[in-house]
Structure 1
Amino acid sequence: MKSVAIVGLGWLGVPLAKHLQHLGWEVKGSKRTHEGVEQMRLFGIETYHLELTPEINADPDDLTLLFSVDALVINIPPSQYFFDMTQYILGIENVLNEALLHGVQQVIFISSTSVFPEVSGQFDESILPQPTSLTAKGLYEIEQRLLACQHIHMDIIRFAGLVGEGRHPVHTLSKRENVVGGNQPVNLVHLDDCARAIQLLLETPSFQRVYHLSAPIHPTKQDYYTYCAEKLGINVPHFISSDQAPQRIILGDKICHELGFVYQYPDPKMMI
């Protein structure tokens, strides 16, 4: 039985843990609070307390149990923390170093396609990111540091906008008027596809790899969110289109060509 630790049992981490458990994996995880640990244990997930300050705040025996696994998924978005990006980067490095000390052989870091700027173009994994926001710059710096690790299987997976499990942008947009960029393409990916892609990477370790995950169909914001709002019976957002709006498309087919991945939700309209 293969084993994996998921540092960050949140909106993505919990469904991922359940998915892998269903497939027969031994799954462990971490939460920032002791209350969160107890809740996850009630869900049947072996969970330990781990907080980044950016030093690792955890019981040494718990760390040994948590990192006594074949693989590690680092799923800690910077938005969860109240310190600056420099400390966030140090926190991720501390998690990596602890995993290496305990002999973890494979690491998957959950990143974001936000490392690419909001400009027109088609962005696949061969394009050099040019992050503009502090968060995106921090993510890209972490990616570079992790990929510099030579003697371990290291995967970076960049997700487009996440949808699923009660999370969909249309609920926020339906409350707004004059939403700009109505003619811009959407770049979305469903939670279930994210879990399946991580599973595939865990099953096929192969040193340093970078993959995008984004549904291959990219309707415009106006067409897509109008459809979603009408489908859900909520207010239809009012969009403003502009010829100057960036036509930014994230390409996520490399994982399909190289590893045989198939999107269960290739069309965002299937995600509603």
Structure 2
Amino acid sequence: MRTVSIIGLGWIGEPLGIQLKKKGFQVLGSTTSAEKQENLSKNGLKAIQFSLNPHPEGIGFNSLFQAEILVVNIPPRTRSGNGEFHLEQLKYLRSLLDNSPIKKVIFVSSTGIYPEAPAGEEYAEDFCLTHENAGNDILYRAEQLMEKDRSYDLTIVRFGGLMGKDRIPGKYFSGKENVAGHTRVNFIHQNDVVGILTWIIEKGLWNETFNGVAPIHPLRREIYEKNAAQLGISPPVSYQNEPEGLDRLIDSRKILETGFEFEFPDPLTFSYLSASH
């Protein structure tokens, strides 16, 4: 049986673990709380309490580092502005990894790494990123830290805006004024996030970087209005009066060329739990 460890059984990690188990993998994951550990075991997922604060804490967490494949999904808490803490976490993770038998790693990153300026064309994986042009320096340094002097196969997946289930874009702007509705989105549905990660593992797509965004990019305004109509939430009260066409778009052709098919290629057709949940 092939073994996969998932660091972070959260919004992405939990459904991924469930999917991999269905496909016959032996899955072990980590969570930071005992309460969550109990809920996960009810869903049939074995979890170990493990956190990086930034040094490793927990009981028996070394078993997480005995699998063939490791999925690292610990997003930086960039909103709190402490990106350095995230890099420290990853340094400790690297030392656990480098002293383990793990041969293959998937590192979950973000399309926030690309420059913030709209380009003439969509940002693809081969775009030359540097300290100077990266849209997010912490994301850039995190990827570099995972790449450097490694003895394992590494695939990096840069996901766009994570939507679906309880994450409804229109909900965040419901009833607000002067909302930016004129730019096109780089969203991805939770099912396709899980789908891409599973696909990479099953197809053995190692030592690659992939963008994970739905290939169709509707306007924000269209999505907010559709969410409002379908889910019974108030639409934004007003939008900014800005011209359309200045979009920072992310290219998803590379993952499509491997044969992957999106369940939700168009964010206008994303499925959600009803807004009351």
> Unpaired runs of 5+ in structure 2?
272-277
Output one character per residue of 1:82-126: Cα deviation in whole Å (capped at 9) or x when no partner: 782222112122223213312111111111101123321211111
What amino acid does structure 1 have at the position aligned with 2:199?
L
Which residue of the partner structure matches residue 107 of structure 2? 109
Which residue of the partner structure matches residue 56 of structure 1? 56
Partner Cα distance (1:250, 1:46) in 2: 35
- Going from structure 1 to structure 2, the CA distance change for 1:80 and 1:22 (only over 3 Å counts) comes to farther
Partner Cα distance (1:210, 1:68) in 2: 24
Partner Cα distance (1:45, 1:81) in 2: 30
What amino acid does structure 2 have at the position aligned with 1:78?
P
RMSD: 2.0
- Going from structure 1 to structure 2, the CA distance change for 1:97 and 1:270 (only over 3 Å counts) comes to same
Which residue of the partner structure matches residue 212 of structure 2? 213
TM-score (norm 2): 0.89
Which residue of the partner structure matches residue 41 of structure 2? 41
Partner Cα distance (2:78, 2:69) in 1: 23
Output one character per residue of 1:159-179: Cα deviation in whole Å (capped at 9) or x when no partner: 000111211111111131110
**Secondary structure, counterpart of 2:48 in structure 1:** strand
Alignment of 1:144-223 (within 5 A): 144-180=144-180, 182-223=181-222
What amino acid does structure 2 have at the position aligned with 1:137?
D
Q: Contact 2:77–2:83 (CA<8 Å) still a contact in 1? A: no
What amino acid does structure 1 have at the position aligned with 2:12?
L
Give every structure 1 segment of 4 or more consecutive aligned residues whose post-TM-superposition deviation is greater than 6 Å. 80-83
Output one character per residue of 1:220-256: Cα deviation in whole Å (capped at 9) or x when no partner: 1112221221122221212223138741111111011
Which residue of the partner structure matches residue 75 of structure 1? 73
Which residue of the partner structure matches residue 124 of structure 1? 124
What amino acid does structure 1 have at the position aligned with 2:182?
N
Alignment of 1:22-33 (within 5 A): 22-33=22-33
The structure with more strand, counted as a fraction of residues: 1
Which residue of the partner structure matches residue 85 of structure 1? 83
Partner Cα distance (1:9, 1:80) in 2: 19
User: How far does residue 152 in structure 1 lie from its aligned partner after superposition?
Assistant: 1.2
TM-score (norm 1): 0.91
- Going from structure 1 to structure 2, the CA distance change for 1:93 and 1:81 (only over 3 Å counts) comes to farther
What amino acid does structure 1 have at the position aligned with 2:134?
P
User: How far does residue 80 in structure 1 lie from its aligned partner after superposition?
Assistant: 8.7
Partner Cα distance (1:226, 1:81) in 2: 27
> Unpaired runs of 5+ in structure 1?
none
Q: Sequence identity of aligned pairs in percent?
A: 30
Partner Cα distance (1:252, 1:199) in 2: 17
